[in-house]
A and B are shown apart, each in its own frame.
Chain A
Amino acid sequence: DARVTQTPRHKVTEMGQEVTMRCQPILGHNTVFWYRQTMMQGLELLAYFRNRAPLDDSGMPKDRFSAEMPDATLATLKIQPSEPRDSAVYFCASVPGTGAGTDTQYFGPGTRLTVL
């Protein structure tokens, strides 16, 4: 049963600390998305990669957020320094194929981040 995995599932940290979230996409999926979900803003696209290359990170605050895909089995999202307003659930989703617009996105269980 292939699934997207994310670690950690929960993270509580203090303002100013660095946070790293990891995602392992389904094997063979070549497109990976990062989303943030809050009550106020809903599900927002932060960034996405295809074949490990960043395609769009316009939804991501550039000054503190960075996303990378060092290899086909790992995507990372870092926040440095973290702020209380970053508290949210961060989802990773992977997609098979070319991501032409029709592919189903498979979401991981999310990382629930709380910044105190």
Chain B
Amino acid sequence: GQSLEQPSEVTAVEGAIVQINCTYQTSGFYGLSWYQQHDGGAPTFLSYNALDGLEETGRFSSFLSRSDSYGYLLLQELQMKDSASYFCAVNNQGGKLIFGQGTELSVKP
């Protein structure tokens, strides 16, 4: 079967750094994506890793280790607006996304 594991919730304070981990077990792996979803909104793309290593996009970075079936999303200089759910997703054959259950991030003042 296919499965992804990520923490259900994380809490941090404004200005801090937070890391959301994701481990996966799947076949047909093309890469690992991260999506953000605010309450009541649609998932929006944040980052994608096809190869091992770190990808940086502004305050957000994403890391992948294919040998460890592991990745993480790093959010720096946290802002209140970063409070949302964050999903890791395996990019599968045919362009399908298999999503994790999501991590709810709460940013406190």
Contacts and interface: CB of A to CB of B under 8 A. Distances in A.
Classify the secondary structure of A's interface with B.
strand
A93 B41 CA distance: 13
Interface of A: 31, 33, 42-45, 48, 50, 55-56, 91, 93, 95, 98-110
9 contacts: A44-B99, A50-B94, A55-B94, A99-B95, A100-B95, A101-B30, A101-B31, A102-B31, A109-B42
Nearest to B92: A101
Classify the secondary structure of B's interface with A.
mixed
What interface size band does chain B fall in? 20 to 34
Contacts of A95: 95
B42 A43 contact: no
Contact of A105 (B30, B31, B45, B93): B45
Contact of B96 (A42, A56, A106): A56
Contacts of B30: 100-102
Given A91-B42, A104-B45, A43 B96 contact: no
